[in-house]
A and B are shown apart, each in its own frame.
Chain A
Amino acid sequence: MAASPFRAGAREGFLGFLPLSVGLIPWAMVTGMAMISTGLTPLQAMGMNVIVFAGTAQLGTLPLIAIGAPLWLMVATALALNLRFVIFSAAIAEGFRGADSPTRWFCGHLLTDGVFAHCVEKMLKVDDARWRLGYFLAPSLWSWLLWQASTMVGVFAAGSIPKHWSLEFMASIALLVLLVPMARQRPMLVAAMVGGATSVILRGMPLRLGLIVGIVAGIGAGFAAEHWHGRKEVP
């Protein structure tokens, strides 16, 4: 039975992403619990979860919602936390060559850190547009479903899971596991080390801007290392 390119891409994208996606579960549950403890009703919490669909932006704006901060401050905070997605969006955009506008909006809405890190390499390399779309959509839709379901568990289980289990640590493990194959290239490793160190040093900056500065510094360092190295290791 010959599978369509879309299905073949979807299958490969999904199977590769599946183990990494477990990192979403605790992250989503923590977000669900945080929304309830901020004072949102379950309906409001799930409404926010569906509309925003971004753990970092949700967790980052909850303290502002709690104190009734002005809307512009919430938007500015969310934008600062989401600035990295402009970089991700630009980096993966080539992978959507051949896709129409509604598809692009839909895929853009579903773009998350984990899906980006998992998909970007093959999205740029593979020629078949249908294969690429499947390869992106399968893990993206799975992320969406898993995120909504796990957040709902957190919303309704708020308060009954022992905090000392530190399940949210699995999110950090998932992100670092994504980093391991990248770091085999020297300039990538330099980018990661500078990005991580800068982010730690600047952790006191308001609105988590240290994260943005860390990303920019890491990109600069990786680029510099590439030139330094005579671009030998870059494919």
Chain B
Amino acid sequence: MSDEATLWLAFILIGLATTLPRASFIVLGSRVSLPPVVQRALRYAPAAALAAIVAPDVLVVTGDFVPLNPKLAGIIAAVAAAVLWRNPWLPFIAGMAVLLGLRAV
């Protein structure tokens, strides 16, 4: 563990490395505008990012690609609940129930 002052300096630098990317284009606003073609392409960023964040969590088990595992079953149950019913809490209940149920078997 680094000493106290270095630690807080690290927090501030990591904080800057977070806030600057987040605020970048929101602050620059209309002074810097991306070409329309880039803006259209960026519409796919959220879908791509969400999938890229979640996929390794449900398809990789301790470093290996495992196509069939309790987490994937849980996610499928959660997605099915989200598609079939409007109740916003149901995907969480279904997903956790399937995950913990399969692990208990």
Contacts and interface: CB of A to CB of B under 8 A. Distances in A.
Interface in B42-81: 42-60, 63, 65, 71, 74-75, 78-79
Contact of B45 (A91, A177, A187, A199): A91
Contacts of A220: 41
A177 B14 contact: no
Q: Most chain-B CB neighbours within 10 Å: which of A68, A101, A110?
A: A68
Q: Most chain-B CB neighbours within 10 Å: which of A164, A195, A214, A226?
A: A195
Contact of B26 (A93, A113, A187): A93
A173 B91 contact: yes
B56 A173 contact: no
Determine the main DSSP class of A at the interface with B. Answer: helix
Nearest to A64: B10
A195 B11 contact: no
B64 to A, nearest CB: 10
Interface in A156-198: 164-166, 169-170, 172-180, 182-183, 187-189, 191-198
B97 to A, nearest CB: 11
Contact of B19 (A92, A108, A217): A108
Contacts of B41: 219-220, 222-223
Contacts of B100: 165-166
A8 interface: no
Interface residues of A, number: 94
A97 B41 CA distance: 20
B69 to A, nearest CB: 12
A176 B29 contact: no
B44 A219 contact: yes
Contact of B23 (A71, A111, A203): A111
A4 interface: no
Contact of A196 (B2, B28, B51): B51
B26 A200 contact: no
B83 interface: yes
B21 A71 contact: no
B96 A180 contact: no
A47 B31 CA distance: 34
A48 B45 contact: no
A47 B96 CA distance: 32
22 contacts: A48-B14, A52-B11, A65-B7, A78-B13, A82-B21, A87-B42, A89-B21, A90-B34, A91-B42, A104-B23, A104-B26, A110-B22, A111-B26, A173-B96, A182-B47, A188-B44, A195-B48, A195-B50, A199-B55, A215-B48, A221-B48, A222-B41
